Amino acid sequence: MKHLHVDVKQDLLRANDLLAQQLRENWRNRGIFVVNLLSSPGSGKTSLLERTVQALKSSYRVLVLEGDLETERDAERIRAQGVDAVQITTGGTCHLEAHMVAQVWLQVNGQTYDFVLIENVGNLVCPASYDLGEHLRVVLLSVPEGDDKPAKYPKAFRTADWMVLTKMDLLPHFTFDPERAEAEARKLRPDIHTFRTSARTGEGVEEWVKALIRARSERLER
């Protein structure tokens, strides 16, 4: 009897990508722009999201999906800003997958939103392999992490449309070269768009939010 090799991981990824594409088309048809944020733990995703929803909520309907191993803490922080947030606790899985997002979407499907912002689990490895149906993928890199992260975690930066450098207010206290970080990212993704921000001071946040609004208009019209 011949030995049959079954690549389970590839089958799972194919199923994930199929569901993600269905989600993406559904959201596009409904005018909902979905952003997937990836980063290491502690890079400032939630802080940037707090600033982002503060800026968007007066003109747009926003939903935030928070991915974490445990606790509702990040979702609680977002709800405190006056927008809807749903916590997805993975119970140990180091990334979000399309079926997790789809299950949550079934619960809120009666609502209408302009933006769905997904904060992925803090991890620069596994989340890069899983399409969640997003229209825009953003990777965050904080000043304390070092400017060599793109070279160390190439897939996360190669698959991202945008890169946001965070915690720029800490630049005087760390050996971090923003130009080098951006150059390293462009070696992997020549067309990557970059931002420099500080959620603490507000630096770069207005530019980031305006870019999100433009991207929503441009990508949903394709």
Number of domains in the chain: 1
**Domain of 53: which CATH number?**
3.40.50.300
Buried b vs exposed e over 135-145: b needs ≥16 C-beta within 10 Å? bbbbbbbbbeb
Q: What is the pLDDT of residues 165-220, one digit of tens each?
A: 999 999 999 999 999 999 999 999 999 999 999 999 999 999 999 999 999 999 88
In a domain, 22, yes or no: yes
Of 11-15, 35-39, 69-73, 186-190, least confident by mean pLDDT is 69-73
Of 5 and 25, more confident: 25
Q: What is the mean pLDDT of residues 95-122?
A: 92
In a domain, 127, yes or no: yes
In a domain, 11, yes or no: no
In a domain, 198, yes or no: yes
In a domain, 184, yes or no: yes
In a domain, 165, yes or no: yes
Q: Which residue has 């009897």 as its token pair?
A: 1
In a domain, 202, yes or no: yes
pTM for the whole structure: 0.92
Domain that holds residue 182: 18-220
pLDDT at 11: 74
In a domain, 72, yes or no: yes
